Each structure stands twice: as C-alpha cells, then as structure tokens.
Structure 1
Amino acid sequence: MPSPRGSRERRAAAGAGRPEFLSLVSPRGPGIPDSPSRRREVSAAPGPGPGPGPPLPEEDCMKLNPSFTGIALRSLLAIDLWASKRLGVCAREGSAWGSARPLMKVIEVSGHGIPWLLGTAYGLCRSDSSAGREVLLNLLFALLLDLVLVAVVKGLVRRRRPTHNKMDMFVTVSVDKYSFPSGHATRAAMVCRFVLHHLVLAIPLRVLVVLWAVIVGISRVMLGRHNVTDVAFGLIMGYMQYSVVEYFWLSPLSAPTLFALWSH
C-alpha cells in the first residue's frame, strides 16, 4: 500500500508539468486542478477583451456592391456606348458604309447653326412684311437661345465625343469637343416644331420637315459624332426649347424697339 507521502509527491510532480495558465487559475496551488465552477467564474470575469472583430459578410457586400441605381446607370451607359459604336457605320472612310459619309456630311451642314443663323438674318433683312419679320425675328431668337443652352449643358456635363469619331466637323468651336447633348439634334427638333407651327405647308412638305429632323439626328450617330443618348436628349431638349420661345414670343407690342430697328 503506497504511503500518503508518496502519493503527495506524485501529485506534486504531475502538477509541475501542467501549463502555467492552469496553475494561475487554481486557487489552491499548482498541483490542484480547478473545478468546473471555478473555470466558469474565470471565463466570466471582466477584462479588456478582444477588439471589434472583422466586418460581417453582409457589411462587405454593402461596401463592395453599389446601389441598384448605380448598377442600372452603368448598364445603360455600357449599352449606349456599345450601340453607338455599332451604329457608327459612316464614322470613317473604311467603315461599313464609308461610301455614304459624304452624304451624311451634307446632312450635317444642313443642321449646322451657322447656315441657319445667316439665312434667318438675311431673310429678316430682306422681308418687307411685318408678319414675316415677326416670324423670322423669333426664329433668330430661337436659334441664339439654342446655341446658348447647348453650350451651357455641354460645359456642365463635359462628355467626350465617341472614340471612333473623326474630328473633321464643319466650323467647330471649343465647346464642340464635348458630346452631350447633340446641338444638331436640338436645333433640328426646335426648327421642325417652329416651322410646323408658323408656316402653312402642304402635308408632303410637313412630312419632309419631320423626316429631315429625324435624319439629322440619325446622321449624328452614323457619323460617329455622338452617342445615342446625346441625340435622344438633344431631340427632347430642342422640342422643349420651342415652348420657351413661344412663352417669350417677340411681337411689336412686347419688343417695339426691335421691330422698329428691323423695319427701317
């Protein structure tokens, strides 16, 4: 039968081999094991504790994934760029419809601001009727308003022209390096609505005016000058600009000085 002294020595030797942290948490010395209740007390004791853990997967998703609106806008932009490049069939001489490029450039000149400004000013000077001068003066006002509004929007948005565009446009200024919106499209839509409201034309001529406005807009994409959204927004903007012209319509009663100037 082993002696109590031998048993105590063996327990002491076993306790000496225990890890240090078990000895520290034991209230009765290194050789006496802790009870389960004591371990629960030690684990529940207050302490500095670990810092905030890594973010949850849901938090990562919130940071990495943009909003639905952002995804939709980027998708529409990608579709716009892709469609504009595919429809730019006359962008260069070696394009799919490169042989039609000269015709597209003639249509481009027909919607340019300078021919319209010069032609309207000439007609205003040569007109000998008060009704004709009134219509032409308001058309001149509409063309100048279009130039100012398009320049302001282009300067604010600053969207570059498509990369497949060839910079050989007819009479450009500094703001023409930007693409949004299409000035030709705004002008075509506004002039189309103006002519249909203030000139008495036969139905075939009215159809031709509408077709001209649509073809001018399409030619901007085919030449690679603009993206599809540039032209679409330009047509809407030009259509709405006519409402502004109608609201501020110049007449001998509202602007007698101007009509007195042009009547001499």
Structure 2
Amino acid sequence: MSGRQARCRARDRNNVLNRPEFMSLNQPSRREQGTGEGRGSGGPRRSTFRQQSQQEDTGLRGGRDSSDGASAADGGAKDAPRLPEQDCMQLNPTFRGIAINSLLAIDLSLSKRLGVCVRPQGSGAPFRSMVLLLAFSGHALPWFIGTLICLWRSNTLAGQEVLVNLLLALILDLMTVAGMQKLVKRKGPWDFPPGFLDFVAMDMYSFPAAHASRAVMVSKFLLSHLVLAVPLRILLYLWAFLAGTSRVLLGKHHLSDVGCGFALGFLHYSLVESVWLDSATCQTLISIGTLRWAPLV
C-alpha cells in the first residue's frame, strides 16, 4: 500500500493540471470530493490544497473583474455622449410646457395651411405676383433708398427733419429685428433658405417678422407726420396689414412671427417719437453725412 501511494503522489506531482493556475480546470464535484476524502490519507490534503488555491484564484479574479468593471463604468460614464434636449422624452411635462407646445403646434399648422403662395403651381398661383409685390414693398432696401433720395432732393428744414428721423427709425428697426432673429434662430414653417434680398436686409430667420415690423412702424410714422385724406389713411393701414401677412402666404413666417412683428414695429415708432431729433441736430447729421460742416439752408 505504501508503494502504491508513493506512485500516486508522484503521478499527481507530475500532472500539469494539478498546478495552481490550472486547478479551475480540474475541479471535482462535491460528491467526488466526499468520496475522495475517504480514500487514503492523500485525499483530504489534496482537496484542502485545491480549495485554498480555488479561493485564491477566485479572489484574484473577483478583484480583477471589479477593478475592470469600475474602470469600464468610469470610462463609459465619461465617453457616453449626452443626447440633445430635443431627443429626450419628458415623462412629467409641466402644464406650461404642454400649453406652449400646443400653441406652437397650432401656429405651425395654421401657418402651413395659409402658405398658399409657396409654390408657383399652388392654389394661390394667380395671386402670387401680387403677394410678391406686397412683400417687396415691406422690404428694407426700397425704404432705405427712397428715404435717402427724398432727403437728397428735399429743400425744407421741416422735411429734412422728418426724413432724418425716419432714416434713424429704419436703422433702429433693422438692427433690432436682425439681433432678435440671430438670438432666437427660429426657422420658417417651410424652412426655405434665405434669398439674396433677405441677406441684404439681414432677414435670415423667422422670428420676428421684419416686414411686419417695418410696415407698422412706417405707416404709423407717415400717418403722424403727413397730412393725408381718409381714404389714403385707410389704404396705409391696409398696406401695413397685407405687407406683414404676405410673408405668411409665401411660407416665410409663422403667424406668431407676424403678430410679434406688428407689436415690435409699434414699439419702434413709440421709441423714435420719444427721442425725436430736432431740426438743428438733423442739420448737423446731414452736414456730417455729406461732408459739409455748414448747416443746410
């Protein structure tokens, strides 16, 4: 029996699978361990050694896995891209958010339905040319050119005073609307790219409507400083309304953009009236602009 046990021990020592790094490949079941413990004196010693080596291997693997899992979690948290806010679903929206989103959806739907002159083959094709003319009448370029020509040909101090203040009002309207559009960056209902005239007038976004603001401001200005008959006054009011809504018919602006443009134009008119420049200041500005330092007579 002693010679047989010595041969078994020698065979176990020479077996590669009995090394600690390969013990996980040669793990006996509990039933085999229970029967092996009853076989001779070498069984309990080998099973104890195997259990110790297995615990050491599992401890090393568990520490390695936990460190790898922690580093992977940290790396995943750092590398995970943040989704934009418009792609995230709000599970508990507020009443204010629901109301605003509903109003924006209604505004977009109505604006798209009113865009009958968007395409030349649409339902509003017979009126497209007239709508384009109305939209051009509210553009900044003809009003700036017309005001400068009238100022150059004017010979009276009162006329020059009115025209200089009108020119300043146009500059104020252009810069304010362009700054608000650049800040909000709202696209139109049909998301058309801006044309050449839009780049000239810095009217590249939808909110607020520059044509509507300019039309209201100019109409209020002319009604206050020109003596007009009642039919002309009615036509001026009607022109301001049609010039603003023409951009909705062309698909350039929403209804809310035009409404805010109307309010902004009235605000510009009130501001210009509150800081009205007198005749002497206007003559000084004219002399600086024409490089003649003597006041005009």
Within a 5 Å distance, the mapping from 1:58-207 to structure 2 comes to 64-163=91-190, 165=192, 167=193, 169=195, 171-173=197-199, 175-207=202-234
Provide the residue aligned with 1:29 in structure 2.
none
> Normalized against structure 1, the TM-score is what?
0.72
Number of residue pairs aligned between Structure 1 and Structure 2: 201
Alpha-carbon contact 1:192-1:210 (below 8 Å) kept = yes
The one-letter amino acid paired with 2:198 is T
The alpha-carbon deviation at position 221 of structure 1 amounts to 0.6
Provide the residue aligned with 2:259 in structure 1.
232
In the TM superposition, what whole-angstrom CA distance separates every residue of 1:4-63 from its partner, at most 9, and x where no partner exists?
xxxxxxxxxxxxxxxxxxxxxxxxxxxxxxxxxxxxxxxxxxxxxxxxxxxxxxxxxxx7
In the TM superposition, what whole-angstrom CA distance separates every residue of 1:86-112 from its partner, at most 9, and x where no partner exists?
000111112211221111111111111
Q: Aligned with 1:172: secondary structure?
A: helix
Q: Aligned with 2:203: secondary structure?
A: helix
Provide the residue aligned with 1:249 in structure 2.
276
CA distance 1:176–1:168, change in 2 (3 Å): closer
The one-letter amino acid paired with 2:253 is H
- Look at both structures and tell me which one has the larger radius of gyration over its CA atoms: 2
Q: CA RMSD for the aligned pairs?
A: 1.8
Q: Which has a greater percent of helix?
A: 2
The one-letter amino acid paired with 1:85 is K
Alpha-carbon contact 2:169-2:269 (below 8 Å) kept = yes
The one-letter amino acid paired with 1:194 is F
> Normalized against structure 2, the TM-score is what?
0.64
The alpha-carbon deviation at position 202 of structure 1 amounts to 0.5
The alpha-carbon deviation at position 159 of structure 1 amounts to 0.3
The one-letter amino acid paired with 1:144 is I
Flag structure 2 segments of 5+ consecutive residues without an equivalent. 1-89, 291-295
